[in-house]
Amino acid sequence: PGRPQPILTFARFSDRPNLCIAHILEHYLRITKNLRAAQCDNLFIACKKPHKAVGVQTLSRWLRKGLEECGVRSELFSAHSTRHASTSLADRNGVTTDLIK
Q: Which residue from 57, 50, 82, 56 is spatially nearest to 68, judged by alpha carbons? A: 82
Range list of H helices, the chain = 21-32, 56-69, 81-92, 97-100
Does an H or E element contain 15, and which?
A: none
Residue pLDDT tens, the chain, 101 long? 567 777 878 888 888 888 898 999 999 999 999 999 888 888 999 999 989 999 989 988 898 888 888 888 878 877 777 777 778 878 888 888 877 76
Determine the Cα–Cα distance for residues 29 and 20; give it in Å rounded to an integer: 14
Q: Which residue from 56, 52, 27 is spatially nearest to 39, judged by alpha carbons? A: 52
